[in-house]
Structures are given as C-alpha cells and as structure tokens.
Amino acid sequence: MDLLLNVHIVAGSAAMISSGFALGSAKGKKAHILSGRIYFWAMVVIFVTAIAMATLTGNQFLFITAIFSFYLAFAGMRFAKNRTGTPQWIDWIAVGLMLLAGAGMWVLAAVYFSDQNNSYMVPAIFGLVALSLGFQDLMTHRHKKATGKNRIARHLTNMMGGTIAVITAVLVVNIDMQPSWIFWLLPTLVITPVIVWWNRKVKG
C-alpha cells in the first residue's frame, strides 16, 4: 500500500504540473503535445494504482472514481488523436464504462444517504457529472460529430475534467476541513463555468 500510494502521489503531481503546461501552451505546438502526453500517462499510473488500492481496501468510491477520472483523460486523448469523427470499438467501451461509473456513483450516493452519511452529496454530484459527460460523448460518437471545432471542444472538456479530478484529490488529501465534501466539490463548481465559457469560445 505504501509503495502504491507513493507512486500514486508522484503521478498525481506530474499530472497536475503537466496539465498546467498543456493549458498554458499554444494548442497544436510541441510543448502542448508533449505536456499532454505526460499528463495522459501520469493519469494511466494514477488509474492503475487507484484501482489496486481500491481493490486491496475494498473502497468502492475510490474504485468508481478511478474509472470516472481516467475516462476523462482517455477520452480527451482520443478526441485529440482521432480527427475523422468515426469512433472505434475502444471508444464505445470507454463511454459505456463512464456511464456505468455514473450509475454506480448514484447507487453509492443512495447507500450513503440510507446510512445517514452526509457525504452522499459527493457521489451524487459526481454521478451527475459522469452521466452528463458520458452522454455527451455517446451522442458525439453516435452522430460522428467529433470533427473540427466540436472535436476540439470535446478534447478540451474531457482534459479539463480530468484536471478537476487531480486538483480535487490534491485538495482533499492535503487540507483537512469540515465538512469534508466542500473540497470534494469546490474544484468542480469553480472550473466547470470556465469549461463552459471555453467551449463557447472554441465553437464561436
């Protein structure tokens, strides 16, 4: 567990730093592409270590969150690479897992609520976000709309969503504040309007 946690932390730091470089660099340039690749592979390591730790500890929330977070980085990468707009089998599997993760979050929220656990708000909102983003990507794949500005918007939305997940983890682990759900939701509430504004700007 100590080894997994240490690797997880290092990968999280790399993802956070590289996402900042990717956001601050000119799109399509070498610096943006390189930092994006570092970010993606850091998210792969985060995903693998999180799944391992969740399995060892029986932590259902961490398990579902790992799938949810990694999908965002994976889909963001796929939208960056696939310029044809035609989804591949791996895209369908990924978006299906994202929708299952969203449904799983809602089931977990219901369990928390029935147990009078005040943290039920976190999986409830995360589930809503997962289902919303997953459904948007599903419709994009179905209608083969991931071309031009719409492809860039989907790339941006998913990559920024993954960045929210990393920032959330950093805040929750390093800052002890009650109620604890504040830092679980704060990055989503703050950055989501930025994603919406950026999407409108990209699409003109």
Residue 197 falls inside a structural domain: yes
Q: Are 118 and 181 in contact (CB under 8 A)?
A: yes
Q: Is the pLDDT of residue 12 over 70?
A: yes
Task: Give the mean pLDDT of 140-148.
Answer: 89
Question: Which residues form the domain of 90?
Answer: 60-203
- Stretch 117-125: mean pLDDT: 83
Q: Is residue 182 part of a domain?
A: yes
Residue 54 lies inside a defined structural domain of this protein: no
> Is residue 137 domain-resident?
yes
CB 135 within 8 A of CB 154: no
| 159 in any annotated domain | yes
Q: How confident is the model at residue 47 (pLDDT cuts 50, 70, 90)?
A: very high
pLDDT tier at 29, thresholds 50, 70, 90: confident
pLDDT value for 177: 66
How many separate domains does the chain show? 1
Neighbouring C-beta atoms of residue 80, cutoff 10 Å: 22
Residue 198 confidence (pLDDT): 82
Look at residue 53 and tell me if it is in a domain: no
pLDDT in tens, 145-202: 888 888 888 888 888 888 888 888 777 766 666 666 677 778 888 888 888 888 888 7
The residue type of 199 is N
Residue 127 domain flag? yes
**DSSP H helical segments within 25-147, as ranges?**
30-57, 60-81, 89-114, 121-142
Residue 13 lies in a domain: no
**Those residues with Cβ within 8 angstroms of residue 98's Cβ, 6 or more apart along the chain or in another chain:** 67, 68, 71, 75, 130, 133, 134, 137
The predicted-structure confidence for 56-114, as pLDDT tens digits, reads as follows 999 888 899 899 889 999 999 999 888 888 999 999 999 999 999 999 999 999 998 99
